[in-house]
Structure formats: structure tokens, C-alpha cells
């Protein structure tokens, strides 16, 4: 019998991937999902995800689904909420979790950017409420940011980090409950500058992406930005920053170029054009290239990446 029952709230893109990771590690997983169609699709999606990683699709039998949240969490030791990114919805779900999950059960939210304290605000037993920000695809990106709110206990953080490490993830402790946590703040600092350069006519979108992919993008998986600063020297880093930082975009809101693209119906893949045009074939090709790259990265031992 699989041990340590896990519950996942929401069986969509992230929830199914998170359930897959726990099932592959031998846990029984119960998903609470209101949509009958989504529930019906879960076994095939989990089995497909396991097969993609070369794991036994039969492990998917450890994943069950129900429409009833109370039933899903009744004997759970750990819950991950992966419902839509709406504060009112998440607050209602966590109120239910506090009521129905055993007191010792840890309650984690996969919110993309919301401070965990805003979800836990006003709820009892907030010491066991923690953020766990998984990345998409959940089974292929190692990082899970473990976000500690002012009320999350150290014991909850430690148990969450240990559980995630035990199923093969690379948990990172985020000590302040700040919007965007760590990795999205870094990622969107880069996106802000990239969009500003296109808006300023410095180069086109394709050139931005080519510059990243053919330079520091190649190094990033083995050389983090602060390792790189040490490598080139803190003194050189300071000199570079004196010249370049005054030039960088520091807008507090989204670049107006985004609004112009949206007004023109250029929403990206979903409309066939964003910063550039995307035929269905080009979209499929890029998605496959990403999966192939991430699968190849999995073959690289963590020690070689660290």
C-alpha cells in the first residue's frame, strides 16, 4: 500500500503534474476537482506523464479523484492547492482545508505570485499554511519555491522541504512572503528589460531571444547570476553596474507595448501572433523542443548542475 496520503486541490495543468510526482514516489494521492471532464481525463494524463519520464504508467493507479474536497483531505498528511489563481477562491478553499484536514496536515498553495499571508489571513492554524511554487511542467522543472509567511512555522517549512526533496524536487526556502517569490522576480526583471528594448527599437523580438539563447542562456543552468558575479569579480560587477544600471528600464507597470499588442489581438500562441507570428506547427515544434531539452537536462546529474 502506498504511504503518506497526499491530497491535491484542483486537477488541472499543475495539479495533475504535482499528483504525478507524488504518485511516482509511492504516495497515494487524492485529487479534489469539481469538473467531471477534468476528473475523467486525470488517469490518462498522469499515465502519459509517467511514461514520458520512463516511469511505470501503472503508478498512476495511486492517483484517485473526487469532487468532494472534504473526502480528499480527510486522512491526508499533506495538501497542495492548485486551483485557479483567484484570491477569493483560494481563501475559501483554505478555510475548507482548515476545517476538514487533520490538524497535523500541512496545507500548501501553488499560487504563482500571491503572498501566502494574504491567503491565510484570518484563518486558524496558519502555522501549517505554506507556499509551494512548482514550475510548469511540474514533473520536469526541479525547483519548488517553499514560501514562509510571517505565520508559517519553521517546522512546517522543514517538513515541506524534506517531503519535496524526498520525491526528487529541488526545494528552495523563501524566507520573506514577497510577491513573485524569487525566481519569478528574476525572470520578470529580464522580461521587463527585453520588452522595453523592443519598445525602444533597440532590436526586434527575435533578436532578443537569439541573444539570450546564444549567450548567458547557455550558461544559466550551471552558472547562477551570483556565481557569475563572483567568477568575473565583484569589482568588475560594480563597475559594470555604474554604467549600465542608469540605462535599464525601471517602470513600475507593464510596458505600454503590451497594451498595444493586446489591443491589436496579438495575444501570443493563443491568437497565432504575439511578439512574432506562430503557426500551429511552429507552436508544436517549440513545445516539443522545450520538452526534449528538459528531458535531456534530467539526465544531467544534479551535482553537475550545482
Ligand X SMILES: NC(=O)c1ccc[n+]([C@@H]2O[C@H](COP(=O)([O-])OP(=O)(O)OC[C@H]3O[C@@H](n4cnc5c(N)ncnc54)[C@H](O)[C@@H]3O)[C@@H](O)[C@H]2O)c1
> Which residues are identified as catalytic?
112, 133, 145, 184
C-alpha cell at 260: 498595444
Q: How far is the CB of 238 from ligand X (least distance, A)?
A: 35
Which of residues 52, 55, 64, 112 is near ligand X by CB under 6 A? 112
Sign of the CA dihedral running 265, 270, 274, 279: negative
* Cα separation values, 108 from 5, 42, 135, 164, Å: 14, 21, 15, 12
Q: How far is the CB of 203 from ligand X (least distance, A)?
A: 28
Question: Does residue 134 bind ligand X (CB under 6 A)?
Answer: yes
| Residue whose CB is less far from ligand X, 178 or 251 | 178
* CA proximity to 130, closest of 146, 114, 145: 146
Question: Does residue 60 bind ligand X (CB under 6 A)?
Answer: no
Question: What binding mask, one character per residue, do residues 8-47 give for ligand X by CB under 6 A, x or -?
Answer: -xxxxxxx----------------xxxx--x---------
Q: How far is the CB of 24 from ligand X (least distance, A)?
A: 18
| Residue whose CB is less far from ligand X, 110 or 156 | 110
Rounded CA-CA distance 149/129 in Å is 8
Angle between helix 205-213 and helix 183-199 axes, rounded to 10 deg? 140
Q: How far is the CB of 33 from ligand X (least distance, A)?
A: 5
Residue 112 makes CB contacts below 8 A (sequence gap 6+) with: 85, 133, 184
Q: Which stretch binds ligand X (CB under 6 A): 109-117, 122-130, 167-175, 245-253?
A: 109-117
C-alpha cell at 304: 553537475
C-alpha cell at 18: 504535482
Q: Which stretch binds ligand X (CB under 6 A): 77-85, 146-154, 245-253, 291-299?
A: 77-85
Before 137, cis peptide (omega within 30)? yes
Residues interacting with ligand X, by CB under 6 A?
A: 9-15, 32-35, 38, 82-85, 89, 93, 110-112, 134-136
Amino acid at each position: 500500500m502506498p504511504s503518506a496520503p497526499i491530497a491535491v486541490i484542483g486537477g488541472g495543468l499543475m495539479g495533475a503534474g504535482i499528483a504525478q510526482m507524488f504518485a511516482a514516489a509511492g504516495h497515494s494521492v487524492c485529487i479534489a476537482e469539481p469538473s467531471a471532464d477534468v476528473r475523467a481525463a486525470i488517469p490518462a494524463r498522469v499515465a502519459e506523464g509517467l511514461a514520458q519520464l520512463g516511469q511505470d504508467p501503472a503508478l498512476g493507479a495511486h492517483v484517485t479523484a473526487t469532487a468532494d474536497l472534504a473526502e480528499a483531505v480527510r486522512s491526508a498528511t499533506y495538501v497542495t492547492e492548485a486551483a485557479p489563481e483567484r484570491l477569493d477562491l483560494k481563501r475559501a478553499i483554505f478555510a475548507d482545508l482548515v476545517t476538514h484536514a487533520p490538524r497535523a496536515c500541512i496545507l500548501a498553495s501553488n499560487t504563482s505570485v500571491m503572498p501566502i499571508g494574504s491567503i491565510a489571513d484570518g484563518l486558524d492554524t496558519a502555522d501549517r499554511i505554506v507556499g509551494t511554487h512548482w514550475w510548469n511542467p511540474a514533473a520536469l522543472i526541479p525547483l519548488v519555491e517553499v514560501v514562509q509567511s510571517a505565520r508559517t512555522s519553521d517546522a512546517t517549512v522543514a517538513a515541506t522541504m524534506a517531503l519535496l526533496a524526498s520525491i526528487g524536487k529541488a526545494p528552495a526556502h523563501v524566507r520573506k512572503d514577497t510577491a513573485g517569490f524569487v525566481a519569478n522576480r528574476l525572470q520578470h526583471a529580464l522580461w521587463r528589460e527585453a520588452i522595453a528594448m523592443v519598445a525602444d527599437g533597440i532590436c526586434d523580438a527575435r533578436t532578443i531571444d537569439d541573444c539570450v539563447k546564444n549567450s548567458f542562456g547557455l550558461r544559466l543552468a550551471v552558472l547562477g547570476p551570483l556565481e557569475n558575479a563572483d567568477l568575473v569579480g565583484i569589482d568588475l560587477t560594480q563597475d559594470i553596474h555604474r554604467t549600465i544600471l542608469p540605462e535599464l528600464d525601471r517602470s513600475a507597470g507593464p510596458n505600454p507595448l503590451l497594451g498595444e499588442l493586446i489591443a491589436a489581438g496579438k495575444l501570443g500562441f493563443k491568437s497565432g501572433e504575439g511578439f512574432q507570428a506562430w503557426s500551429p506547427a511552429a507552436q508544436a515544434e517549440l513545445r516539443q523542443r522545450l520538452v526534449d531539452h528538459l528531458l535531456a537536462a534530467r539526465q544531467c546529474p544534479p551535482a553537475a548542475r550545482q
